[in-house]
Structure 1
Amino acid sequence: MFMRHRFTSLTLAFASLVVASAATAGPAPTAQQIFTAENLTPSFANGYVVYGDDINAKLDAFKSRLIPEVKPFDFEIAPPGSTSALEYVFAGSGGTNILATMTGGVVRSETLLGRYNTTAPTAASPTPRQYLEVQTVAPVAQAASGSASVLAPTAQFTISFSKAISAFAFFGTDIGDFDGSLIMEMFLDDVKQTELTVRGGDKPSMNGNELLFYGFASPDVAYNKIVFRTKSTDGNDVFGFDDFWAADAGQLVAPTPAPEPGSLALVGLALAAAGLMRRRKA
């Protein structure tokens, strides 16, 4: 009886631990629900960056998961040089709004050391120029201590949403020329759900002119705060961000399922049989 009671107690304790762990960590997008690509040497036409085939393919794939009414925020309405919190209202599903509040960074209107506007000109906005510049600073004491990996707690960039989102994307510039990783910490009601690595830095040169697109769309996740941080021993760097997309679960479109191999085989057999029957009749 004692052994059975002890086993039951240990089982309940383990089950409680599993439940507690599950309560503190939420789901993350799967690899199939993340869309990312980069152009390390982008070209420019008439002063505007050319995305390149890889980025265009991932951008189109991301947009295909959203209803057409979802549009990006391009920072053109913000005053240049502004360091105040920026607010933008994304249209949500069911006639609702998603108020995004962005803190950290400064709005720029000129190209600076590999950071630039990524918005393509349109009839409504023929001369887009602006983007958000964000600096992350690793603590000197922690960096000097020889820690293998530290999170920079200062000067991070945060986006808070009035309604939980299930899709988010952006363009980044000058990302990758530092010895570390750029991550996004994802929160729901101030509880951290997961973190996503946007890009690992490889410090190829001192002028990171590369263009990066990163996004996710998943009906299985819900976040209402995103914090951008660097993770490294040398996390001092400046990035450019532009063209933010945000959508709630009601604005997602299910992906078109690919035919299963077995289904394709059955279709092939049916077509072959149909061809054989036609030949016999002839």
Structure 2
Amino acid sequence: MSKLLTSIACAAALMAAGSANAYLVYTGIDNNGNAGAQVASTNSTAAENSFKSNLTGVGTENFESRSGSAPLALDFGAAGTATLNGAGSVATNAVGATNGAGRYSVPGGTRYWEVSAGGGNPFQVDFSNSLAAFGFYGIDLGDFGGTLKLELSNNGSVVSTLDVPTAALSVADGSILYFGLIAENAAEEFNSIRFLSTVGTGDFFAFDSFTIGTKEQVVRTLPEPTSLALVASTLLGLGLVRRRRT
């Protein structure tokens, strides 16, 4: 009977999550606490792989062929192109090393996007296509207590604002985050993302390996909320029948 109750609870949780936020979120953090050394991207890479397992033919921009500041043209192959606008610039690090302040390219490159956290001119990425999936690496986030939100818009109208987790303050220096999201319905698609950060004076965030996908590139088949309700009610009915027979 405990397994049956667990199944019902899982179905109910899925329905609650879908009604509150239609995005599937994949995230992993590798704690560090050392500004002078890179940390292995174990949890973050697992989150990236899980995110990408639901997609096909998507494109990733890793900044390795980019330089300068915004506006910066980005290329995601079959998923489309984009323009990075606002604050920030492409920064570099030596292979296998940090920039001395906890920021570096992930995974294993030498270039990344760097921006002053909490500035009055947040950066945003404007895409050529309507998208259903977006993922990225964030490096050295939160070591000054800063926070990060993603504001998703479609043709100028805000669709949703999502909180992005960061490492705890004591281990955030040089940490690695991966954050990926997939829209479950057309109403949650977007063609622009703005990175909103808050922090005290002197903090910088690093971002790398942006991955995007259109709805045609999402291969995951998701049950509709009505289907989940049917599953839950069926399981509940089976539980009641079992109880009457015992």
TM-score if structure 1 supplies the norm length? 0.63
What letter matches 1:51 in structure 2?
A: S
Following TM superposition, by how much is the alpha carbon of 1:89 offset from its aligned partner in structure 2, in angstroms?
A: 2.5
Report how many residues are paired.
199
- Of 60, 76, 81 in structure 2, the residue corresponding to residue 99 of structure 1 is 81
Following TM superposition, by how much is the alpha carbon of 1:56 offset from its aligned partner in structure 2, in angstroms?
A: 2.9
Q: 1:158–1:228: 8 Å Cα contact kept in structure 2? A: yes
CA distance in 1, matches of 2:65, 2:161: 30
Task: Structure 1: give runs of 5+ residues left out of the alignment.
Answer: 1-26, 121-127, 139-153, 267-282
CA distance in 2, matches of 1:202, 1:42: 9
CA distance in 1, matches of 2:166, 2:48: 20
Match of 1:134 in 2: 115
Aligned pairs (5 A) from 1:103-252: 103=85, 104-110=87-93, 111-112=98-99, 113-120=101-108, 128-137=109-118, 154-199=120-165, 202-204=168-170, 208-220=173-185, 221-231=188-198, 234=200, 237-252=203-218
Q: 1:198–1:214: 8 Å Cα contact kept in structure 2? A: yes
Task: Structure 2: give runs of 5+ residues left out of the alignment.
Answer: 1-19, 224-230, 239-246
SS of residue matched to 1:169: strand
Following TM superposition, by how much is the alpha carbon of 1:105 offset from its aligned partner in structure 2, in angstroms?
A: 1.0
Match of 1:62 in 2: 51
Aligned pairs (5 A) from 1:9-24: none
TM-score if structure 2 supplies the norm length? 0.71
Q: 2:115–2:206: 8 Å Cα contact kept in structure 1? A: yes
Following TM superposition, by how much is the alpha carbon of 1:227 offset from its aligned partner in structure 2, in angstroms?
A: 0.6
Following TM superposition, by how much is the alpha carbon of 1:217 offset from its aligned partner in structure 2, in angstroms?
A: 1.5
CA distance in 2, matches of 1:248, 1:187: 15
CA distance in 1, matches of 2:33, 2:219: 30
What letter matches 1:182 in structure 2?
A: L
Q: 2:167–2:175: 8 Å Cα contact kept in structure 1? A: no
| Bigger Rg, structure 1 or 2 | 1
Following TM superposition, by how much is the alpha carbon of 1:173 offset from its aligned partner in structure 2, in angstroms?
A: 0.5
Match of 1:50 in 2: 40
Identity among equivalent pairs (%): 27
CA distance in 1, matches of 2:74, 2:147: 28
- CA deviations on 1:95-125 (whole Å, 9 max, x unpaired) are xx522111221111123211001134xxxxx
- Structure with higher RCO (Cα < 8 A, 6+ apart): 2
SS of residue matched to 1:57: helix
- Of 51, 67, 72 in structure 1, the residue corresponding to residue 60 of structure 2 is 72
CA RMSD of aligned residues (A): 2.9
